[in-house]
Amino acid sequence: MRTRTPIALSAVTSLAVLAACAGMSSGAGSGRHVTQGLATVVSENLYTGCREQLPNLRKTPLGRITAFDGTVITVPAETAIGSAPQAAPLYSDCEQVRPARLADVSVDAVPVVEVDRDGDVVSGFVVADNYFELYVNGKLVAVDPVPYTPFNSAIVRFRVKRPYTIAVKLVDWEEKLGLGMEWFPPNQNWYVGDGGFIARFSDGTVTDRSWRAQTYYIAPLTNPDDVVERGDVRDTTALGRTHPLAKPPTCEARCYAVHWDIPRGWQAPGFDDRRWPQAYEYTDAEIGISPALISYSRFPEAFTGARWIWSSNLVYDNVVLVRKRVQ
């Protein structure tokens, strides 16, 4: 019977650890799920559609991991890949669509997704680092045809009546599933990837700080308490918000991640996003745009007036929802 005492004590200690890991000890906002380490691979590669053997083509893996509270989480994100219409390419090496200039692009040939039968046709140019799903008034218009790399740009078209709501799920994809890290040439095996999203629509709508943005997956973290919650603000800015200012953690496969459930109906026009933070704007330099990134830099006039956006941390926030009400 004596031997039971240490077991009981250790159970209490474990519960205390669980409570701390769930953020309860710091009085953090409710609903966070904490994980540690690598996820189990569910799919080695969600994207097999690339038509060329490109040097910068990565596999697009998907994983599952169980949080300390028992919640099973898909990483980097649940997506509609494979079950939703794909956006048309503006520029895409994998799809072998490489226009020399915007004037060579036939936007009118892109199919129109009907949201409102008596609406006007709106077209948009879109780039995501790495993946987007774009909804209009709750209807899934298109998903990014190339979920990870190489970097592509896309065209979406829809018919809609004002006012309307654009809602986009954004994923900074990863290879170290559950940890927000990836290989970075030539020799960084635990590199912390970053995100970014820019779009310009034919009705004048552009991405900028007037959009709302909320993060649902933050990693890699040395300590889950590095995420400071104040209401709906999920703040990791002390870790650095952009490369090269963000200080990479050294925990590698022992790092933590913090997740929140994606709210039901987040794509709908009536969803209340007023407590979400405003989107942060990022410069081309912060995003890491080089002239070599021609899917974006070849078409500056396609993105005139638009800003790269993300939540407050371009590096550590890996699944971000953004919304814009167009009046």
Q: Rule CB under 5 A: which residues touch Ca ion?
A: 129-130, 144, 146, 152, 172, 180, 193, 318
Q: How far, in Å, are 144, 215, 225 from residue 229 at the CA level?
A: 31, 12, 9
Minimum CB distance to Ca ion, residue 258 (Å): 13
Q: Nearer to Ca ion by C-beta: 132 or 271? A: 132
SS3 track for 284-324? HHHHCCCCCCHHHHCCHHHHCCCCEEECCCCCCEEEEEEEE
Q: Nearer to Ca ion by C-beta: 180 or 277? A: 180
Contact between 315 and 241 under an 8 Å Cβ cutoff? The reply is yes
* Residues in contact with 156: Cβ distance below 8 Å, sequence separation at least 6, in sequence order: 87, 88, 110, 113, 123, 124, 126, 134, 141, 142
Q: Nearer to Ca ion by C-beta: 267 or 318? A: 318
Q: Tell me the CB-side half-sphere exposure of residue 58, using CA atoms within 13 A.
A: 17
Place of tokens 């879109």: 126
Q: Nearer to Ca ion by C-beta: 220 or 271? A: 220
Q: Nearer to Ca ion by C-beta: 166 or 179? A: 179
Q: Nearer to Ca ion by C-beta: 29 or 288? A: 288
Minimum CB distance to Ca ion, residue 177 (Å): 13
Q: Enter the tokens of residue 214.
A: 């909320």
Question: Which candidate, 261, 258, 68, places its Cα nearest to that of 179?
Answer: 258
Minimum CB distance to Ca ion, residue 317 (Å): 7
Minimum CB distance to Ca ion, residue 93 (Å): 11
Question: Which candidate, 193, 167, 155, 131, places its Cα nearest to that of 303?
Answer: 155
Q: Nearer to Ca ion by C-beta: 81 or 160? A: 81
Minimum CB distance to Ca ion, residue 218 (Å): 9
**Among all residues, whose Cβ is closest to Ca ion?**
193
Question: Cβ-count burial of 236 within 10 angstroms (0-12 exposed, 13-18 middle, 19+ buried)?
Answer: buried
Minimum CB distance to Ca ion, residue 283 (Å): 16
Which sign does the torsion angle of CA 30, 35, 40, 43 carry?
Answer: positive
